[in-house]
Structure 1
Amino acid sequence: MPEPFHATSPDDLLTPEQMLSMPGVAFLRGILEGRYPAPPISKTLNYRLREVEEGRVVFRGAPLFDAFNPLGTTHGGWYATILDSCVACAVQSRLPKGSGYTTLELKVNIIRSIPLGMEVDAIGICQHAGRSTGVASGEIRGVQDGRLYATASTTCIVLNGPRPSG
Structure 2
Amino acid sequence: MDGPEPQGETGHLGGGSGLDLLRAMVAGEILPPPAMALFGIELVSVRDGGATLRRKPGDYLYNPMGPVHGSAVAALFDLALGSAIQSALPAGRTYTTLDTRISYLRPVTAASGTLTVTAQAVDLWERRAAAEAQLTDADGQVCATATMTGTVVERPPEGSPEKPNRTWDVSDWLKIS
Q: CA RMSD in A?
A: 2.2
Percent identical across equivalent pairs?
25
Give TM-score scaled by structure 1 length.
0.83
Per the alignment, do residues 137 and 16 of structure 1 end up closer, same or farther by CA in structure 2, a change over 3 Å counting?
farther
Q: How many residues align?
A: 153
Hey, what does 2:30 align to over in structure 1?
36
In 2 relative to 1, CA 100–20 (structure 1 residues): closer, same or farther, beyond 3 Å?
A: farther
Query: Who is 1:9 aligned against?
Result: none
User: Does the CA contact (< 8 Å) of 1:45 and 1:67 recur in 2?
Assistant: no
Counterpart in the other structure of 1:84: 78
**Cα distance in 2 for residues equivalent to 1:49 and 1:37:** 11
Q: 1:95 maps to what in 2? A: 89
The answer on 1:129 being equivalent to 2:124 is yes
CA distance in 1, matches of 2:57, 2:101: 20
Give the deviation of 1:64 after TM superposition: 2.2
The one-letter code matched in structure 2 to 1:127 is V
Greater RCO (Cα-Cα under 8 Å, separation 6 or more): 2
Q: Which residue of 1 aligns with 2:155?
A: 161
Length-normalised TM-score, structure 2: 0.78
**1:20, 1:100 within 8 Å by CA — same for their partners in 2?**
no
Whether 2:58 is the aligned partner of 1:64: answer: yes
Runs of at least 4 residues of structure 1 off by over 4 A?
12-18
Work out which of the residue numbers 46, 59, 66 in structure 2 matches 1:52.
Answer: 46
Q: After TM superposition, give the deviation of residue 39 of structure 1 in Å.
A: 1.8
Using the alignment, how far apart are the partners of 1:13 and 1:46 within structure 2? 22
Residue type of the partner of 1:121?
T
Q: Which runs of 5+ in 1 are unaligned?
A: 7-11
Distance 1:105 1:16 in 2: 30
Tell me the secondary structure at the aligned position of residue 79 of structure 2: helix
